[in-house]
Structure 1
Amino acid sequence: MLIELTRFRVLPGKRALVDEWLAFLNSNMEAVRETLEPEEMYVETIFAETIDGVDYLYWYSVQGEQGASRSVRDSPHWLDQKHVYYWRECIDPTYEPQQLTPRVHMMPERVQASMKPLKQENT
C-alpha cells in the first residue's frame, strides 16, 4: 500500500478554474469511481489552501503498489482526459511538488485488508 500527500501550487489567476475543476469532479463522482479501480486508487482526496495569497492543492491518496505505476495521463477515460486538461491549465509546472512524509499510519486491520486490487478478489 502506498500513502501519499503532495502539495502543488496553483498558477496565479486560476482560482476560478480550480473551483470549476473541483466542481466538475464532484458532479461526476460516478465516473470518478470508474477510474479509481484501474488505478488501484482506494482513497483520493483533494484539499485546497491559500498561504500569503498563493493557492495550493494537496492530493492525499491511498493506493495499491501497482497503482503508482499507472499514469492518469495515459487513461482513455473521458473523465481522466478532462482532469488532465484542468491540471495543465491550473497547476504551476515550475513549482516542485512537495511530498509530505507519512510518519504514522493508523487504519483498522479490516479496512486495510479490504484494500487490494479487484483482480485479486476473484482469484
Structure 2
Amino acid sequence: MRTVLARFRIKPGKEDLAREWMGFLADHLDEGNATLPDEGAHVETWFLNEEPDGLWSYVYTIVDDPDAQQERFQHSEHAIDAKHAEYMRQCVDYHTFTELTPAVALGDYSVFES
C-alpha cells in the first residue's frame, strides 16, 4: 500500500475548465467512490491551488499499487472515469507532473484491509 501526493499545473486558459472538472467530481461522489475498489484505491482527494505561476492541482491517494491503479483507471469501463480522463487530457500540463514521495506516512492502514 502506498501513499502518494502528485501535483501538476493546469494548462493556461483551462482554469475555468479545471474548476468545472472538480465540480463534476464533487457532483458525482457516489459514482466516483464506486470506481475506487476496482482500481485498488482507498482514498483519492483532489485540490486546486492558485499559485504565483498559475493554477495547480494536487491529488493525494492511498492505493495498493500506483502503477496498477493507473492501468485500471485507463482501461475502466465506468462512464465517470471516461469523463474524468477527458478533463485530465484537456487540463493537465503533463510536463509539470511531479509525484512526491512521503518522508513519513503515519496512519492505521489496517482500516483498509479486507
Determine if the TM-score, normalized by the shorter chain, exceeds 0.5: yes
Name the structure 2 match of 1:114.
111
Deviations 1:48-91 (A, max 9, x none): 112214111011100113x5313212111000000000000100
Gaps (5+ residues) in structure 2?
A: none
Bigger share in strand: 2
Computed over aligned residues only, the root mean square deviation of the Cα atoms, in angstroms, reads: 1.4
Partner residue in 2 for 1:81: 82
Instruction: Describe the SS at the equivalent of 1:50.
Output: strand
Moved over 2 A (4+): none
Which blocks of at least 5 consecutive residues in structure 1 are unaligned? none
How far the C-alpha of 1:40 sits from its partner, in A, is 1.2
Identical pairs, percent: 31
8 Å CA contact retained: 1:10, 1:57: yes
Find the aligned partners of 2:67 and 2:60 in 1 and give their Cα distance. Answer: 13
Higher Cα Rg: structure 1 or 2? Answer: 1
Q: State the TM-score, normalized to the length of structure 2.
A: 0.90
Say how many residue pairs are matched.
112
